[in-house]
Amino acid sequence: MKISSIKAIPWSPDQTPDSYGVLASRNFVAVKVETDEGITGWGDATVGPLSVANMVEELGDIILGEDPARIDYHWERLYHLNHVQGGPIQLSAISGIEMALWDIKGKSLGVPVYELLGGKFRDRIWTYGRWDGITPEAAVEHALSQKSKGLTALKGDPFDHKGLFISYEAEKKAVDTLAAVREAVGNDMELLVECHGRLAPSSAIRIANEMEQYRPFVYEEPVPWENLDALQRVAEAVNIPIATGERLYTKWDYAQLLNRNIVAMIQPDIIQGGGISEMKKIAAMAAAHYVGYQSHAIHGPMDVCSALHIAASIPNFMINEGGNYFRWREIAEDMVMGEFPNLTDGYVSIPTSPGLGVAMNEEWLGKHPPVETRSQPGNAIWAQQAGRLPSKQFEQWNP
């Protein structure tokens, strides 16, 4: 079997509420890899900028005519192709292609991808929803709605500020929101607190110590991701388990993080992190440090399904990102071919069809072209919401 075509297909769904309850348009990039034997694989190279689509096809040309089964070989070849390696665009392009190659391999052998990763450790995947809300009352309403669906874990970002320096008003509101949600859902619901890397270390420590009484499951990305010394300062000063990793790349970044023994759970992004093979290696590194694993799966359906195959096959899986799973589940009948995983009592089923389990519906993709980002903010999925407390420094970071 030989690779005959590699194509990137940018797309954007209709404006639908994201996991924060906000109407948002965002651009995604599907990857289609065809073979001379008629087996097609699908992947996801979404990173934000549509320039990744050009990189997918530029790198794809390098391996045309090659055996699609040599997945790790192709990864190394494409990663070391140029003098400078890594970064979100190159890694996302490689990962989108790699994901599709795993899909092809599973289909060619007639087995789901998790069988090729060592087989199943578990038969269903524990998954969290969201407890976000513009006000404490809205957050409570959101959390109770999610609980009524059988979810037993929820994650929320209660921070209204943008930038690095939180105001007293925003800090108090964040703590009050968590307190209100905890009281409403009870102690048997796991609550994850998401900071999106926008707290200074001193604020992150003070807020975590205020939130500790409400028993957060993890305290995610309390400080910007670039400085591991700052993260270590926070981890050593608080009693809440620390989670981080969605903006780290490859096993080399994770070696530096894990060797510090400061996190309880890592959250690699399958696309920006290097693909399915790289996730399996990173998960094994984390297991050696007694650290849990959760894929950061907030992109398209192929990314979401890839996360389930990884979660199914590793010993140190901790919990699964609900992310866009809930968004795609509402429209899966139209956007994908095959059976999209189901949610029952807070657990998502594992795809059992050969490959990754579903395929993108190319006709549907053609009817959902990407948003023109020069004329409207197509990638502003986390745009400042009405009613939120502005930064006193007028910073407008996106998480």
**pLDDT over 90 at 250, yes or no:** yes
Across 157-175, average pLDDT:
92
pLDDT tier for residue 282 given thresholds of 50, 70 and 90: very high
Across 281-299, average pLDDT:
97
> 16 forms bridges with which residues in the sheet?
24
Within the chain, residue ranges assigned H as helices are 51-62, 71-79, 88-109, 113-116, 136-147, 168-185, 201-211, 228-235, 250-258, 270-273, 276-287, 301-313, 325-335, 362-366
* Torsion angle of the four alpha carbons 317, 319, 322, 328, in this order, in degrees rounded to the nearest 10: 30
> 244 forms bridges with which residues in the sheet?
266
Residue 212, helix vs strand vs coil: helix
pLDDT in tens, 167-181: 999 999 999 999 999
> 360 forms bridges with which residues in the sheet?
336
**pLDDT over 80 at 15, yes or no:** no
Residue 112, helix vs strand vs coil: strand
pLDDT tier for residue 25 given thresholds of 50, 70 and 90: low
* Both structure tokens of 382: 């986390």
Please tell me whether residues 302 and 162 are part of one structural domain.
yes
Report yes or no on 336 lying in a domain: yes
What's the confidence (pLDDT) of residue 32?
98
What's the confidence (pLDDT) of residue 163?
82
What's the confidence (pLDDT) of residue 84?
84
Report yes or no on 386 lying in a domain: no
Angle between helices 88-109 and 71-79 (to 10 degrees): 170
**pLDDT over 70 at 385, yes or no:** no
pLDDT tier for residue 382 given thresholds of 50, 70 and 90: very low
Q: What is the maximum alpha-carbon separation in the chain?
A: 62
**pLDDT over 60 at 18, yes or no:** no
* Torsion angle of the four alpha carbons 210, 211, 212, 215, in this order, in degrees rounded to the nearest 10: 160
Report yes or no on 387 lying in a domain: no
pLDDT tier for residue 221 given thresholds of 50, 70 and 90: very high
> 351 forms bridges with which residues in the sheet?
none
Residue finishing a domain among 52, 77, 110: 110
Please tell me whether residues 55 and 130 are part of one structural domain.
no
The DSSP code for 370 is: P
Determine which one of 74, 196, 309, 368 is catalytic.
196
Report yes or no on 217 lying in a domain: yes
Report yes or no on 49 lying in a domain: yes
What's the confidence (pLDDT) of residue 224?
95
Please tell me whether residues 34 and 123 are part of one structural domain.
no
Please tell me whether residues 141 and 101 are part of one structural domain.
no
Q: Determine how β-strand 219-220 pairs with β-strand 343-344.
A: unpaired
What's the confidence (pLDDT) of residue 387?
53
**pLDDT over 80 at 327, yes or no:** yes
- For 257, other C-beta atoms within 10 Å of its C-beta total 23
pLDDT tier for residue 22 given thresholds of 50, 70 and 90: low
Closest of 43, 62, 91 to residue 282, by C-alpha: 91
Report the share of the chain in percent with pLDDT over 70.
92
pLDDT greater at residue 375 or residue 38: 38
Q: Is 309 a catalytic residue?
A: no
The number of folded domains in the chain is 2
Residue finishing a domain among 110, 127, 159: 110
Residue finishing a domain among 72, 88, 110: 110
**CA 266/CA 112 separation, integer angstroms:** 25
Question: 11 with 27: CB under 8 angstroms?
Answer: yes
**CA 158/CA 163 separation, integer angstroms:** 14
Closest of 231, 251, 253 to residue 242, by C-alpha: 231
Across 67-96, average pLDDT:
95
Please tell me whether residues 215 and 292 are part of one structural domain.
yes
What's the confidence (pLDDT) of residue 378?
45
What's the confidence (pLDDT) of residue 373?
57
pLDDT tier for residue 381 given thresholds of 50, 70 and 90: very low
Rama region for 338: left / alpha / beta (φ>0; ψ in -120 to 50; rest): left
Report yes or no on 389 lying in a domain: no
Please tell me whether residues 164 and 259 are part of one structural domain.
yes
CATH code for the domain in which residue 127 is found:
3.20.20.120
Determine which one of 296, 299, 309, 368 is catalytic.
296
Q: Is 296 a catalytic residue?
A: yes
Residue 101, classified by CB atoms within 10 Å of its CB into exposed (0-12), middle (13-18) or buried (19+), is buried
Report yes or no on 382 lying in a domain: no
Q: If you average pLDDT over every residue of the chain, what do you get? A: 92
Please tell me whether residues 217 and 350 are part of one structural domain.
yes
CA 172 from centroid of its chain's CA atoms = 28
Across 50-72, average pLDDT:
97
Query: At which residue do the structure tokens 């348009």 appear?
Result: 25
**CA 197/CA 186 separation, integer angstroms:** 27
CATH code for the domain in which residue 86 is found:
3.30.390.10
Please tell me whether residues 204 and 105 are part of one structural domain.
no
pTM: 0.94
pLDDT in tens, 347-374: 999 999 999 999 999 999 999 998 875 5
Report yes or no on 212 lying in a domain: yes
Please tell me whether residues 325 and 265 are part of one structural domain.
yes
Question: 355 with 125: CB under 8 angstroms?
Answer: no
Distances (CA, A) of 269 to 247, 248, 274, 297: 7, 8, 8, 6
Across 230-236, average pLDDT:
98
pLDDT in tens, 73-82: 999 999 999 8
The DSSP code for 300 is: -
Across 292-306, average pLDDT:
96
What's the confidence (pLDDT) of residue 393?
81
In this structure, the chain runs to a length of: 399
Please tell me whether residues 204 and 75 are part of one structural domain.
no
**Structural domain that includes position 323:** 115-366
**pLDDT over 70 at 299, yes or no:** yes
State in Å, rounded, how far the first CA of the chain is from the last one. Answer: 43
What's the confidence (pLDDT) of residue 199?
95
Please tell me whether residues 105 and 207 are part of one structural domain.
no
Across 28-42, average pLDDT:
98
Kindly give, in sequence order, each residue whose CB lies less than 8 Å from that of residue 16, ignoring residues fewer than 6 positions away. 23, 24, 327, 330, 331
| Residue 167 φ then ψ, to 5° | -85, 165
Please tell me whether residues 105 and 119 are part of one structural domain.
no
Question: 242 with 61: CB under 8 angstroms?
Answer: no
